[in-house]
Amino acid sequence: HELLSEINQSVIENKEQLEAFRMRFISKKGVVSELFDHLKNVAPEDRRSVGQELNVLKNRVQERFQEFNTQLEESAASSQTSAVDMTLPAVPNQHGSLHPLTIVRRRIIEIFERMGFNVADGPEIETDWYNFSALNFPDNHPAREMQDTFFVRKSNGEVKDDVLLRTHTSNVQVRLMEHKKPPIRSIMPGRVFRNEAISARAHCVFHQVEGLYVDTNVSFKDLKDTLYHFAKEMFDKDSRIRLRPSYFPFTEPSAEIDVSCFICKGSGCNVCKYSGWVEIAGSGMVDPNVLANCGIDPEEYTGFAFGMGIERITMLRYGIRDLRLFTENDVRFLKQFEGA
Residue numbers at the binding site for ligand PHE (CB under 6 A): 168, 170, 210, 248, 251, 282-284, 305-307
**Which residue, 254 or 260, has its beta carbon nearer to ligand PHE?**
254
Q: What are phi and psi of 155, to 5 degrees?
A: -60, -25
C-beta closer to ligand PHE: residue 227 or 272 = 227
Helix or strand run (H / E) with residue 136: none
Q: Which is nearer to ligand PHE, 290 or 325 (CB)?
A: 290
- Is-contact 161 128, C-beta < 8 A? yes
β-pair type (302-309, 125-127):
unpaired
Distance in Å, CB of 188 to ligand PHE, minimum: 10
User: Which residues belong to the annotated binding site?
Assistant: 252
Shortest distance, position 282 Cβ to ligand PHE, whole Å: 3
Give, for 238, the enclosing helix (H) or strand (E). none
Which lies closer to ligand PHE via its Cβ, residue 100 or residue 282? 282
**Which ranges in 82-169 belong to alpha helices (H)?**
100-114, 128-131, 142-146
Write the DSSP string, 56-86: HHHHHHHHHHHHHHHHHHHHHHHHHHTS--T
Strand runs (DSSP E) across 130-179, as ranges?
A: 151-153, 159-165
- Nearest CB to ligand PHE, comparing residues 57 and 309: 309
Q: How far apart are CA 316 and CA 338, in angstroms?
A: 18
Q: Which is nearer to ligand PHE, 257 or 261 (CB)?
A: 257
Q: How far is the CB of 276 from ligand PHE (least distance, A)?
A: 23
Distance, in Å, from the CA atom of 308 to the CA atom of 314, rounded to the nearest integer, reads 11
Least Å from the CB of residue 208 to ligand PHE: 6
Q: How far is the CB of 238 from ligand PHE (least distance, A)?
A: 26
Minimum Å distance from CB 86 to ligand PHE?
Answer: 59
100-114 helix and 220-234 helix, angle to the nearest 10 degrees: 130
Q: Which residues are annotated as a binding site for Mg(2+)?
A: 252
- Using H for helix, E for strand and C for coil, what is the string for 5-60? HHHHHCCCCCHHHHHHHHHHHHCCCCHHHHHHHHHHHCCHHHHHHHHHHHHHHHHH
